[in-house]
Every structure is written in C-alpha cells, then in structure tokens.
A and B are shown apart, each in its own frame.
Chain A
Amino acid sequence: MGAAGGTIAPDRILHDMADLWVTLGKQGEGDAGVLRACSMTLVVAAEESDDAQAIGETLAALMPEHPSRAIVIRFRAEGERGLSARVFAQCWMPFGHRQQICCEQIEIAASDASLPDLAAVVLPLTVPDLPVILWCRSPRLFHLPAFSLLASIAQKVVLDSAAFSDAATVLYRMNEISGALASGHWLADLSWTRLTRWRELIAQIFENRAQLANLPTVSDILISHRAAATPATAYYLGAWLIEGLAQAGAHARVQFRSDGGEPAWRLSLVELRAQGSADAIASIALAEGHAAEVRTGGLVSKALLPALTDYALMREELAIPGRDPVFERALAAAAKLALS
C-alpha cells in the first residue's frame, strides 16, 4: 500500500489492520483464535540504513512484556516528500498454550522532507487511551527542526545520548528540552538507563548502616570509563553521586579517567574515598566478562553487570511511562557538570 513519493491515509491503514485481525482470527486453531494485546503505542523513528532485522527482533522481544501497537518509521535523508506504509502482526504462542497472542505493527517509509506530514498520519494511528512512547534511534532526526512535531504526539521520548558525538552538548540540549516540555511529556536517555545496575549496587552498599555512617566522610569520587572523551554515562553517574553525597552532608569532587577500550560508553570503575584514607569506602570494578567486584567494609562480593541490549534498555524505559524525577535531577546536574 502506498509508494515512495505517494501519500498514505490513516483510515486505510486502520482498515488494513481490521482485515489483518479477521485473517488472524480465521487462522486460529479451532475455537482458540488469537488474543490481541496492547498496552501502549510505541513509535520507533529510525534511519533507513538502521538494521531493520535488529529493530524487528527488539520489538518482538519487547512485545510479550509490553504489548504495543508498534509504528516503525524509517527515514531516508534524500528524496521527495512521500510516505508509504504496510501493516502486519507480531504473534507468539506462549509455551503450553493453544492460543496465539498478537500485536500490530505498522511500518512507514518516509523521507526527511515528509517529516512535517508525519504527525498527522501517526496521531490517528495511536491507540486511544494508552500512552504513546517515541523511541528516536537517530541523532540526525533529533536535530531536524520538524522532529518536535512528531515528538509532541508522545508522552515520552526516548533518546540515546551515547549515539551523539559530544556528550556535553547533547546533555545540555536535552536538559534544555526537558525543562521546556509541557506537563505530561517526558524525556528519557538510554545512557541513564545503562547505569541502573551500577546505581542499584551503590545504593545497596549504603543500605548497610555501618557503610551509611561513612557516607558523610566521602571526599573523592573516581569514575573510570573506556572512551577517550568522558561519556554521558560517566557525567550522569558523577552528577548523581555528588547530589546524593551532598544530601548526606559530603562535598565530594569527581575525577573522570579514561581506560580506553570498547564500548565507549561502558564504565569500568567507580570508587568512593575519604580524604587521607588508604582504602576506598566502596568500589565497584568491572572484572572479567560481565562480573563486577564490589568491595566495601573489607568484604568482597560479585555481581553481574552484563552489557545491556536495546531490548533490556527499552524494557526498563517502557515500564516507566510517567515522570522520572531522579533522572530529571540527574540530567540537570550532569549537564552542569559536563559544561563545568
């Protein structure tokens, strides 16, 4: 349906989706039929050159936990104003069941020039009464002036600052946008999501009352990362730690150190020290593979910190459809830290 250089009618897409459900219903075994599941509209904005198979696999993995109407928009930089679309279903058969569960997927091909037209197409395709999440996979799209039209449909826009070349600039820009967003609209950053396990380990260390008592004495934070330039993840973690320590009455300095290696955004060490003390109050060091060594109070424990896939990151973000005040504070502090 539709063709490059053509237009698409949302009513037509909705009609095609209705037909799709009739067809799926007929294919169902006996009386089992298919079960339609939907908890949100997930709009994915990607470049035409982005790995279509990887996006499809990520969406398929997300569907059982976050069943959604997925609208995948693939942009090409060149070409005249035009849109085309097709609809299909993502189905799975839960183990031990006779009934398939299916989610709808709409794929739209668009040129940059047609970006101003897209909001009018996407808006009627969103599922009523359910949240709309926009996952922007391309830094280039984020910078296009008309992108804000598409973003305004969504309650939450998910970006990945790791994909941008300059962490400080993008953090500053994101903080600016975040502050200007209307009530009921939020921004998320997968660089922050990558830190959840690190942050949770740190928080868990200080659940222990003996360790908590040491918190006001922390004077120095060391964060080691792989990239040559300090990545957004390091700024976020540093800013979050400084804020937390300030609440505990400690005024700590943060030092970033590059260890080199890949992936660039990955952290390798975080260490909290008191002035003049030989031993760290707490440290988490990435060891071999995905294991991390947690040292605190003379005890050493192991935790797993696997590299997180797009699926794992989006799974976490989709579980938070509303405001995330801890992230908002960290973004503001990280932007300030990166520019200082």
Chain B
Amino acid sequence: MPEVMQERLTDIGPPHYDKFLPPIVKENYGKWRYHEVIKPGVMVHVSETGKKLFTVRAASPRLISIEKIRNYADLADKYCDGYLRFTSRHNVEFLLTKEENIDPLIKDLRVLGHPVGGIQNSISSIVHTQGWIHCHSAATDASGIVKSVMDELVGYFETMVLPGKLRIALACCLNMCGAVHCSDIAILGIHRRPPKIDHENLHKTCEIPSVSASCPTAAIRPATVGGKPSVEVIEERCMFCANCYTVCPSMKLNDPLNDGVSIWVGGKVSNARHEPMFSKLAIPFLPNNPPRWPEVTDAVKGLVELWAKNARKYERMGEWINRIGWPKFFQMAGIEFQKEHIDDFKHAGLTYKRSTHLTF
C-alpha cells in the first residue's frame, strides 16, 4: 500500500476544557452555591443541588519533572477518578468527591514532599520566573530564592494564622514575567551597571538605529569605536532597564559584581476593599548570595512578620501601610529611607507628599 501523506495539523488550538472536567463539575457547572474552608489547604464547594466537591491544594516548585507529573497523575487516579487541575500560582489541586479520601491523599502528598495549604489567610506559592535556569536577562536566579524564602515561610502556607492574604512574587529582571508589580511583596532582580558594549560585534548582530531607539531615556547614541560603527551610552542617563539588551545581544547588562535583588511591598490585584495597587520600593538593593540568599530571605521574613503583627484583620500589606503611612512603615521595618526610594521617572511628581498628614 502506498504511504498516505500524513496531514500536518495546525491551528487546532488547545483541547476543549470540557474533556477534562470531572463529571461532578460538569453536572454542577455554574451552580455552585457557596464554599467553606475545612482546614488549611482543603475546601468544599457546595452546589445548589447539594453535591459537594472537595479540593486539596498542594505546593509545587513550578519547575517539575515528568516523573513528578506522573506522580500527580497516579494520585489523581487513586483518589479523584483521574481529575486534577493547577492554579494560577503553580499549585496543584486534586478534586475529590469522596470526603474520606482527603486525609489519605494529604498523607501521600506529604510522602511526596508537597505541603498542603495556600488557601485563605495564608501565603500561597510564589509566582516566579526562569532565572539562571533558562533566561538570558536574569539579574538573579528565581527558583533558588523562591525555595529559600518558602523554606522559611512554609509554616504560613500550611496554616491560616495571618491577618489576611499575602501574595509574594519574584521576577529576575525588569521584564517582569509574572505580576510582581502588584504583589504584597515583590522580589525583583536588578542590574546596576550600564551595558558593556561589544564594539567588535555590535554592527554584525544589531541594527544601530533600533538599538538607539530602544532606550527609554535616550542614553544611547551612534558612535564609531575603533573604526567600527557602534553605539555609546551616556552612563548618567542609564537606569539599567536592559531594553537595549533585549533588542541587541551586544549590550550585556548581566554583571555579577553589581546585579542583585530589590524588595517592593504593598501591591495587590484584587478589588476587595481597596482598589488594586502597585508595589512600592522598600529595599533598593540586596546582594545575590546563592545558594540561599540569606539577606533576601531575612528581609522577606521580617516584612511578613511585621505585617502579621501589626495589620488588622483582612488588611493586606498595602492597606496596612496606607493606614499607618510610609514614614512609619520605614521606621517600623528598620529600613533607612534613601535617595533611591524617590521616583524620578515619568510620573514621579505625583508621588511626592503634598499635605501635612504626617505621623511622629
């Protein structure tokens, strides 16, 4: 028989979600009446029909092997007829119809090394990015800091003792893959040295006009260096954003001596109570200190505990700081206010204090 040319499928899109919904979800789709948190990491959704769906949420490092995914699949088969889902914060959720399966599942997850929690007034998993595992622009690693910070904070993942929700996110450069700019605590990798220009190769790898145009502060201008067409950077104007590096590999920002981490606080995306807010700069710079980043870990833990001790019920980090004021926050956190805390980009003027509403 002649071989039939196999048709090459394209543009088929993702599988229809309907194929993956457990029967109880299909039957009660849009009919959920209310939910209750039974214990840390476990909730029940009750339908208008009286049907109950139990969810067990477990932590994940986000970077997972196929072996681990197969472990998840086995657990789903054992306890939930093969159905599971993931959350927007990289947690895995098992969807159970039998209440008696909850505890055995949690036990198996413990054996596998995956704590259960992250619901309600807890710290959920840290949304994060690729870092040194997979990205060229990283000013720090992502997974290593996340692991180190969560080893310290896992107690708050597994309980619900905090005043409200606390969302931490990490991005390893200003590209910010992930919503770190609106998190209760954001950990952000930063460069602090202007691009090191590879004059030998720049004209071969990059278009000079687009390199100049890429800079938001117009710090880059065409120049001839060593007889070759290249660019020069007006260093005082450089804010280390790495836009030039994104368009041109010959403008390297990565630099072990100067790269590190900044900490931002008080952002949120939910509309509950206060409107969504950006995170604001708390600590301008902490060093990269792998493998455990003790300075970053201590700083984050300190901020979490300061908020936990002082915030009122439901108050997110930013709502608490709004109530007490930023000077008080800096004082209580023991962070020295410095020039870097004052904005100097586009809408900087809007951030100056324009009243006498001050605490002493």
A and B assemble together: no
